[in-house]
Structure 1
């Protein structure tokens, strides 16, 4: 969001210099093949990209918009391709006719990362950028799933869960109950999912 006063500037990168006051191994090369994403704050809130237009207006692009994927990854989407959007319709593979259901973000990004014999997948050639893209899109997919669970508690019959009913029946502190979102056992990593394996 910083605006430079003029175009007469130079960016100098010293890759071997460690900033003063930070941990000595902070900028070391990774020693394992694992990649992780950390979600903090409200994990169901929409993530946004802020773009400053030529007329100095700010435009906010939410993570559910089809143009969200291109600005952070101009090398991957160099032709200006659209990314995932919530209203992409599924198609019948035989007839090509549109189906009633929408394509999920998981299916969309699985297709983007698919290895095909007939043509080269350019995304997989970007190494660390490909890993960053995969982690970012995974976090986007998980945020979408958590938003769905938060806004569809009535459909999921969350008020029927026994522990919540017991807490209300036993006059538990209502501040502790709050507006909690109950994750179903189908959500991997949720407390109910972990209880199934005990």
Structure 2
């Protein structure tokens, strides 16, 4: 209802039939899309347009934008009004769109465009509350020079949708304004490590996206952040963040093919040997390395390692499947300190406890107490484990 952007992904709603905890499941590529400031003629406003167009009837427009009369009957208009009031006072992104609304209503500018900046000059203000003039600006006429890879350019009125780059610092704040009520900055590639950070650092001395996301979802006492109180929306944020991270990894692999060991692929020669005689089917092959979980090389590498162990030490004796139970005493004890939460509201807690118990089981097996001395062992990435 309050998002500036729409999520371009196939959401599977059939899995939530009431027989199990709520699950946010998507398929396909994930992207965030944004339209123009004003809707086309004879069309209703959606997403960011609701902050600019016909704000005198904003509550009704937002209820109508959901497209479900059944949901609309269960929504409290007073809560919607209070949320609108809160965003107008606190969210700098909302304030920028309200400025655009005032320009249209007072000045009647029909060739107005908005630019959401992808870079800020001062990294020291990363964790401060933003201001409108730092986020972007309104331009009459030609937009001029801009960083097309990072900046978001929103036209006054245009057909179609534009994809918002994942490297824009407002990528998540535009999609989840309730989780980021001030319009805070998110990840950007030029973030640096803190001077007092003593953990492992990357060669470029820049914070990778994975480290930023994991830092963002950590619990910090004495009070939890707004992000961790999102319930089902927090679960959607985690899925969205993971999909964005995987896309970032694939982009890196695609752009660094020359640095990967791909000697078995020789372009046209290999294509001809495979029988690809049609030139229309020939293109640039992208090789996924063994470090990318689920890739053909990753599966082939693990298979070969497993067969080598079997040839040397014999066939495996046990096949152990380790699952998670939300009724574990550790999980119940953790949620007793967080009244009102359900296990599906905090998948990060479930995952951490599962990983700790999995590591504890592996340490117990390797200790030699249950089955004697371990002859051979191989530990792949994540939970692919073989012990003999």
Give the count of matched residue pairs.
Answer: 163
Q: Structure 1 residue 152: deviation in Å?
A: 1.1
- Kindly state the Cα deviation for residue 84 of structure 1 after the two structures are TM-superposed: 1.0
For the 8 Å contact 1:88–1:103, the answer to whether it is kept is yes
Q: Match for residue 174 of structure 2?
A: 71
Please state if 1:173 is matched with 2:276.
Answer: yes
1:192 aligns with 2:176: no
- List runs of 5+ in structure 2 lacking aligned partners: 1-13, 38-99, 101-109, 114-152, 155-161, 304-388
1:133-148 matches, within 5 Å, as 133-148=237-252
TM-score when normalising by structure 1: 0.69
* TM-fit CA distance, 1:49: 3.2
Deviation at residue 197 of structure 1 after TM alignment: 2.0
| Greater helix proportion | 2
Gaps of 5+ in 1: 1-24
Shift of 1:127: 1.0
Query: Could you tell me how far apart the structure 1 residues matched to 2:32 and 2:23 are?
Result: 26
Check the 8 A contact 1:39/1:139 in 2, yes or no.
Answer: no
Structure 1 residue 132 corresponds to structure 2 residue 262? no
1:84-123 mapped onto 2 (5 Å cutoff) = 84-93=187-196, 100-123=204-227
2:17 is aligned to 28
Structure 1 residue 34: Cα displacement: 5.1
Displacement of 1:29: 3.8
Rounded Cα–Cα distance in structure 1 between residues aligned with 2:16 and 2:235: 18
Whether 1:39 aligns to 2:28 is yes
TM-score, L = length of structure 2:
0.37
Quote the offset at 1:184 in angstroms. 0.1
SS of equivalent residue, structure 1 residue 102 = coil
52-61 vs 102-111, greater mean Cα deviation = 52-61
Match of 1:49 in 2: 33
Alignment equivalent of 2:165, drawn from 62, 74, 97: 62
Report the secondary structure of 1:52's partner residue: coil
- Describe the shift of the 1:154–1:133 C-alpha distance in structure 2 as closer, same or farther (beyond 3 A): same
